């Protein structure tokens, strides 16, 4: 299997530098590439490592639902 982090400028490589596991980094990189507004996860470690990241907002399910409901109300 080719190494998806071989190229230093790819999103996956930048995300992996945050200390994420390979598949977590790829999952987040896919969300960023797809222009997702919110990345929803129950993984507390992943939430902590993505906190304050400028490319995507990572939230637990309850907080993400509240945010989406707020978008629809406004």
Beta carbons within 10 angstroms of residue 26's beta carbon:
17
For the record, the structure tokens of 73 come out as: 């109300």
Q: What is the per-residue pLDDT for 74?
A: 62
Of 67, 44, 56, 60, which is closest to residue 15 (Cα–Cα)? 56
Q: What is the per-residue pLDDT for 15?
A: 82
Q: What is the per-residue pLDDT for 3?
A: 54
d(CA 48, CA 3) in angstroms, rounded, equals: 26
Q: Where are the domains of the chain?
A: 11-73
In contact, 28 and 56? CB cutoff 8 Å = yes
For the record, the structure tokens of 23 come out as: 């598949």
Q: What is the per-residue pLDDT for 11?
A: 77
> Which residues does the chain have with pLDDT short of 70?
1-9, 72-74
């Amino acid at each position: 299997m080719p190494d998806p982090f071989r190229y230093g400028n790819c999103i996956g490589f930048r995300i992996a530098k945050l200390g994420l596991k390979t598949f977590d980094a790829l999952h987040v990189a896919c969300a960023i590439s797809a222009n997702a507004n919110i990345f929803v996860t129950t993984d507390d470690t992943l939430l902590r490592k993505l906190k304050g990241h400028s490319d995507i907002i990572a939230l637990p399910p309850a907080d993400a639902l509240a945010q989406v409901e707020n978008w629809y109300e406004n």
